[in-house]
Amino acid sequence: MSQRSAGPDPKLLEILVCPLTKEPLRFDAERQELISEKAGLAYPIRDGIPIMLVDEARPLDPDSQPMIG
């Protein structure tokens, strides 16, 4: 993890959007996550590979369930 903590390839943010809302994502360097504000989900980057699955995303607000459409 440590050698990849500098940040994702800038191309990731250029190319990827939230699979639910198709909105742009924000990178959280500390947590190594791609954040979709609108969906309220954080998509993890594990071992340098983004996991763009709604089922494996972390809800930003633990009290609210993500809307799955």
Q: Name the site residues for other proteins (rule: CB under 8 A).
A: 9, 11-12, 15-20, 22, 46-55
Report d(CA 68, CA 64) in Å as an integer.
12
Q: Which DSSP helix (H) or strand (E) runs through 56? A: none
* Closest distance of CB 45 from other proteins, Å: 9
Provide, rounded to whole angstroms, the least separation between the CB of residue 32 and other proteins: 14
Query: Smallest distance, Å, CB 64 to other proteins?
Result: 20
Q: Residue 16: what are its φ and ψ, rounded to 5°?
A: -85, 145
Q: How far apart are CA 69 and CA 44, in angstroms?
A: 20
Q: Which is nearer to other proteins, 18 or 63 (CB)?
A: 18
